[in-house]
């Protein structure tokens, strides 16, 4: 067992397993850890920002107190842009591609991220998270939107940081899913959950039932069925938190397309794909109801998608309801 091992050491051990590794990826990931720690620190003192602001402490440079999601966005960009490992970034908080400034070196990877997911929970002390996805840049030349439009199965790495009762980082590079808990006293992520396997089937369903009137009949019938079967409802409203709980305990999370959101609400590249990569690596499943999430060929950066994700048997069961619905049309 390697429990307690610092993430930086764990990454080096993983790197040694790959014979031709150059260390570039490990360098990129180490930069990301710095960003994660900066955001974690800021999230943890979120409730103090106004108090400190009023006391004049946070505005010594005359800067406006930033919204936390914008802060997280710029913390990641600033930490990652000069590392030399990336050729560009894309963020849920930014309309277009984020280029690497001309005077900085470039690398062969692209980073996609949702800097602070669960924005409606930021001000109310409920868990929120950062989600990230790393892909390779295939072509030479200027980084463009089309470089980011790869199916999720081509991800090199995906993960999230959850800012909860403790801060945890969960990631996969396609060799299982590992979880690390931040020990604030030493400022290190320490291995706490090695090789996470998701229960085959759970007893939890997570969906915003306030949307019932907009649901298609397949969703209606599936949710009725899980209730009949004694499932419990758990819906925090932060995707990362709902996903993390289901990953460890088993269960299903749904944000399906409906009459109001024909394409679903969640973003394919910043939310669905990274979590789909993780769930599959942990033995679970993710789909739109009709198509495996990781197979979708994206058309645009901020594309939305229907998402059904969780324990394998639960998602397969839900897909039957979507197939019946399609057959009835």
* Cβ distance to Mg ion smaller for residue 171 or 243: 243
Only one of the segments 24-32, 95-103, 113-121, 214-222 lies at the binding site for ligand AHM (rule: CB under 6 A); that segment is: 113-121
Task: Output the smallest distance, CB 106 to Mg ion, in A.
Answer: 27
Task: Output the smallest distance, CB 118 to Mg ion, in A.
Answer: 7
Rounded to whole angstroms, the Cα distance separating 179 from 76 reads: 20
Q: What is the pattern of x (binds Mg ion, CB under 5 A) and - over residues 107-126?
A: -------x--x---------
Only one of the segments 139-147, 164-172, 222-230, 231-239 lies at the binding site for ligand AHM (rule: CB under 6 A); that segment is: 231-239
Rounded to whole angstroms, the Cα distance separating 151 from 222 reads: 28
Contact call for residue 212 and ligand AHM (CB under 6 A): no
With CB under 5 A, what is the number of residues at the site for Mg ion?
2
Rounded to whole angstroms, the Cα distance separating 251 from 200 reads: 9
Task: Output the smallest distance, CB 70 to Mg ion, in A.
Answer: 14
Q: Please list every residue from 92 through 111 that binds ligand AHM, using CB under 6 A.
A: 92
Residue nearest to Mg ion (CB): 117
DSSP 8-state secondary structure symbol assigned to residue 18: S
Which one of ligand AHM, Mg ion, none is in contact with 44 (Cβ closer than 5 to 8 A by kind)? none
Q: Which of 233, 202, 207, 151 is nearest to 310 (CA)?
A: 202
Rounded to whole angstroms, the Cα distance separating 5 from 85 reads: 25
Alpha helices in the chain (DSSP H): 7-17, 24-44, 49-55, 68-80, 145-148, 217-228, 239-249, 273-281, 312-328
- How many residues belong to the chain? 329
* Cβ distance to Mg ion smaller for residue 231 or 270: 270
């Amino acid at each position: 067992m390697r429990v307690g091992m610092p993430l930086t050491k764990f990454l080096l051990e993983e790197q040694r397993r790959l014979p031709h590794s150059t260390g570039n990826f490990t360098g990129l990931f180490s930069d990301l850890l710095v960003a994660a720690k900066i955001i974690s620190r800021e999230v943890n003192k979120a409730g103090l920002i106004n108090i400190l602001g009023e006391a004049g402490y946070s505005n010594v440079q005359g800067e406006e107190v930033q919204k936390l999601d914008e802060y997280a966005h710029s913390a990641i960009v600033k930490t990652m842009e000069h590392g030399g490992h990336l050729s560009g970034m894309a963020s849920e908080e930014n309309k277009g591609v984020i280029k690497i400034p001309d005077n900085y070196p470039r690398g062969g990877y692209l980073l996609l991220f949702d800097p602070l997911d669960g924005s409606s929970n930021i001000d109310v002390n409920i868990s929120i998270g950062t989600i990230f996805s790393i892909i390779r840049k295939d072509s030479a030349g200027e980084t463009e939107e089309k470089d980011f439009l790869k199916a999720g199965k081509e991800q090199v790495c995906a993960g999230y940081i959850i800012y909860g009762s403790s801060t945890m980082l969960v990631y996969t590079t396609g060799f299982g899913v590992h979880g690390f808990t931040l020990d604030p006293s030493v400022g290190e992520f320490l291995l706490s959950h090695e090789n996470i396997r998701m229960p085959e089937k759970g007893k939890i369903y997570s969906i915003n039932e306030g949307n019932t009137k907009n649901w298609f009949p397949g969703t209606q019938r599936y949710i009725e069925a899980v209730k009949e079967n004694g499932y419990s409802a758990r819906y925090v409203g932060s995707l990362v938190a709902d996903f993390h709980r289901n990953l460890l305990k088993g269960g299903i999370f749904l944000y399906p397309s409906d009459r109001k959101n024909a394409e679903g609400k969640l973003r394919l590249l910043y939310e669905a794909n990274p979590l789909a990569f993780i769930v599959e690596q942990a033995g679970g499943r993710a789909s739109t109801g009709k198509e495996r999430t990781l197979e979708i060929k994206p058309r645009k950066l901020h594309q939305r998608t229907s998402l059904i994700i969780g324990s394998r048997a639960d998602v397969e069961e839900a897909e039957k309801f979507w197939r019946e619905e399609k057959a009835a049309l």
